[in-house]
Structure 1
Amino acid sequence: MHEDNPAGPDRLPGPRTVVLSIPADREQVVLARSVAGHIAARLGLSVAELTDLRLAVDEACGLFLLSPGFGVSGELLECRFEEQSAALAVTVSAPAATSVEPDVDDIGWIMLSALVDELTWKAEHGVATLTLVKHLTVRSS
């Protein structure tokens, strides 16, 4: 484990990645929201930013679980939280038909776009991936 923390006391030491695999079940999404909230708090995000991130993770998981063509019960939904130099990237992925694409005019996609700084979609090799990026703001003490 790396002991230096050049980012400061409120930041995790070095780049960190947390991977959470949960059953493709709406009742399990609370785990992904909880992890998002914990990581956001550790990174020093404001309460409003933390709330936005939790809601964005919930919407992203819901996109997979409630839309036809995505993972079904018995399969796993993976949430990857990765601290980058000045951002937190959250990647949600699940088995899906490669032809499946989100409806960018849907209220869920519009909400996701408003809650995060970057939003990208990719579907290949039978897996759909949605990446949310939240830029980290540096707060002075």
Structure 2
Amino acid sequence: MTNPTPFTIFNAIFSLAALLILIDFALPGKLVSHKIVDIQSAHQQYYNAGGNSHYSYAITTNAHTFPVTEAFAQSVQVNQKIEYSVSSIFKEVNWYKIPSANNRSIYSLRLVSGLVLPLLAIIVFAAAFKYKKKISTLAFVFQVLVIADLIFLLV
């Protein structure tokens, strides 16, 4: 058996980090039920040739502030109860819903940072074990993305 290269060791470390992020998203987390204290709406404007803009929405409870979709923000009111799940490791809100509703909502950024990016990273790192240097640049890009995701989750 040959000694592992630094490239292989780095990929293994980043695979474990991506797996940790994925596990944090996949585990049920702590179910929390609070009243909504505030619903914020912020106008986000792009300073480009198109001059486009959009609104972002966030809900504040006594314990957490987290982004929600526009449809959800418009369907709830202050002092209304809301249920949501807080992840075990990074303390992020994984999903949220009105207690009387059957369907849960997941904010798209949380879905990307907790599920899509780690899954893609694990696939790329696994492929890097087989193809070694042929996809080393792609593996490096995903290493940077995993670091950025970890910083995003920790801040």
Pick the TM interval, shorter chain.
Answer: 0.3 to 0.5
Question: TM-score, normalization: structure 2?
Answer: 0.31
> Higher strand proportion, which one?
1
> Higher helix proportion, which one?
2
